């Protein structure tokens, strides 16, 4: 697809509700209705970001299939190649810093029906489990997705939001590196955990020559299971928290920023919002660091009254040399009638500064 690389980079940090997912594009109106519905039903969550329907349409397209029957010959070819391939999880996450010390190396390969899946690395952070895979098939595909379940110490993880990204290795359409991030509330950070990841039900899509319509699609029902032990001790030891006490208002709602938490993998601002509003807003925090580098935090998760903003390293990592970050909150209203986001962000609070050192 055109501009697929840029889209995948944006998708890398976008969280969406994956329960009862249907393969349909979501307009801004539909997202507005979904977001309002989760406020009334605390058992479901919906997360919004500026990337809109494009992200909603592709965010779960993270798997590999072939359009032919997979026989023993294809299986053998896959096995000899994928086991030898490695790909940096930092590069896959678009992080320039060396984050290899914080990754739990798994390097397990499972091959079923001619499809090879290699679980490379796993990173455990606060309320989040990140893992990367390499997938290979014997024929080219354009987009793909699969379902997955995660078990921690024998208990199934009932995650409500997840994000994913995928890119062809050296622009390949048969060999891909994929990263996934799932919400893992109250996950243990310092102790070893027995983890099982089960990938299943692959769906693939092949586009026409113009890249604007699906020409062929199919499904293969198989399981790829991985079991291993992992922890988040190294990353936890290099994580820092800065208490915040800054508030701004949106209509009848008040949002309070409570903590900035940062480490080499993630930089997040945690907040709470209280009050009711007839409208639904997308919020972002825009500004710069003390070295005049541009810094933006985007709303990646909203659950009941809890908000999470995250710095997206689409261009550069946050510098280790910075001592402060200055931000200003902006918001754009989701339209009630039009299906298209206006992108008309307006300032909703005063400038504030987070001091790191």
pLDDT bin (cut points 50, 70, 90) of residue 24 is very low
Residue 26: what pLDDT? Answer: 45
**264 falls within a domain:** yes
C-alpha–C-alpha distance, residues 339 and 43, integer Å: 26
Chain mean pLDDT for the chain? 79
Residue 301: what pLDDT? Answer: 87
Residue 298: what pLDDT? Answer: 95
> Average of pLDDT values for 174-190?
90
Q: What is the pTM of this model?
A: 0.76
Q: Which residue has the higher pLDDT, 214 or 248?
A: 248
* Structural domain boundaries enclosing 319: 239-355
Pair (227, 298) in one structural domain: no
Pair (8, 144) in one structural domain: yes
Pair (218, 165) in one structural domain: yes
- Assign residue 282 the CATH number of its domain: 2.60.40.1640
**31 falls within a domain:** no
Pair (150, 185) in one structural domain: yes
Most confident of 1-15, 22-36, 160-174, 229-243: 229-243
Pair (79, 206) in one structural domain: yes
Pair (148, 115) in one structural domain: yes
Pair (13, 125) in one structural domain: yes
> Average of pLDDT values for 146-165?
86
* Structural domains counted in the chain: 2
pLDDT bin (cut points 50, 70, 90) of residue 76 is very low
State yes or no: pLDDT of 20 exceeds 70.
no
State yes or no: pLDDT of 256 exceeds 90.
yes
Residue 103: what pLDDT? Answer: 97
**Domain final position from 206, 231, 256:** 231
How would you write the chain as a 3-class SS string? CCCHHHHHHHHCCCCEECCCCCCCCCCHHHHHHHHHHHHHCCCCCCCCCCCHHHHHHHCCCCCCCCCCCCCHHHHHHHHHHHCCCCCCHHHHCCCCCCCHHHCEEEEEEEEECCEEEEEEEEEEECCEEEEEEEEECCCCCCEEEEEEEEEECCEECCCCEEEEEEEEHHHCCCEEEEEEEEECCCCCCCCCEEEEEEEEEEEEEEECCCCCCEEEEEEEEEEEEEEEEECCHHHHHCCEEEEEEEEEEECCEEEEEEEEEECCCCEEEEEEEECCCCCCEEEEEEEEECCCCEEEEEEEEEECCEEEEEECCCCCCCCCCCCEEEEEEEEEECCCCCCCCCCCCEECCCCEEEECC
Residue 80: what pLDDT? Answer: 54
pLDDT bin (cut points 50, 70, 90) of residue 217 is confident
Residue 338: what pLDDT? Answer: 65
Q: Which residue has the higher pLDDT, 78 or 317?
A: 317
- Assign residue 87 the CATH number of its domain: 2.60.40.1630
**41 falls within a domain:** no
State yes or no: pLDDT of 109 exceeds 90.
yes
**244 falls within a domain:** yes
Of 8-17, 102-111, 218-227, the least confident: 8-17
Pair (160, 243) in one structural domain: no
**49 falls within a domain:** no
Pair (92, 186) in one structural domain: yes
State yes or no: pLDDT of 245 exceeds 70.
yes
- CA of residue 140 relative to chain centroid, distance: 24
Residue 323: what pLDDT? Answer: 97
pLDDT digits (tens, 9 = 90+) for 62-71: 333 333 444 3
**Domain final position from 231, 265, 292:** 231
């Amino acid at each position: 697809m055109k501009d697929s690389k840029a889209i995948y980079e944006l998708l890398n940090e976008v969280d969406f509700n994956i329960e009862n997912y249907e393969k349909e594009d979501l307009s801004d109106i539909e997202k507005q209705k979904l977001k309002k519905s989760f406020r009334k039903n605390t058992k479901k969550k919906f997360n919004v970001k500026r990337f809109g329907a494009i992200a909603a349409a592709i965010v779960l397209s993270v798997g590999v299939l072939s359009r032919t029957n997979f026989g023993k010959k294809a299986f053998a070819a896959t096995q000899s190649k994928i086991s030898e391939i490695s790909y940096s999880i930092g590069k896959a996450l678009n992080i320039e810093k060396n984050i290899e010390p914080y990754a739990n190396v798994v390097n397990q390969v499972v091959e079923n029906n001619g499809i090879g899946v290699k679980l490379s690395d796993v990173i455990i952070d606060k309320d989040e489990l990140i893992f990367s895979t390499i997938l290979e098939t014997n024929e080219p595909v354009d987009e793909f997705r699969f379902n997955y379940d995660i078990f921690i110490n024998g208990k199934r993880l009932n995650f409500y939001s997840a994000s994913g990204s995928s890119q062809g290795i050296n622009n390949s359409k048969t060999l891909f590196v994929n990263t996934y991030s799932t919400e893992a509330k109250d996950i243990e950070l310092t102790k070893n955990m027995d983890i099982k990841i089960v990938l299943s039900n692959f769906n693939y899509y092949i586009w026409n020559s113009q890249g604007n319509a699906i020409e062929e699609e199919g499904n293969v029902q198989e399981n790829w299971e991985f079991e291993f032990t992992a922890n988040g001790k190294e990353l936890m030891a290099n994580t820092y928290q800065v208490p915040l006490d800054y508030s701004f208002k949106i209509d009848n709602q008040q949002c309070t920023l409570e903590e900035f938490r940062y480490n080499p993998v993630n930089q997040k601002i945690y907040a709470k919002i209280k009050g009711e509003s007839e409208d639904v807003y997308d919020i972002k925090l825009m500004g710069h660091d003390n070295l005049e580098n541009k810094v933006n935090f985007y709303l990646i998760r909203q659950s009941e009254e809890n908000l999470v903003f995250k710095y997206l390293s689409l261009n550069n990592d946050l510098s280790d040399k910075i001592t402060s970050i200055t931000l200003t909150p902006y918001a754009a209203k989701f339209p009630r009638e039009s299906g298209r986001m206006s992108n008309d962000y307006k300032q909703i609070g005063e400038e504030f500064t987070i001091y790191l050192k």
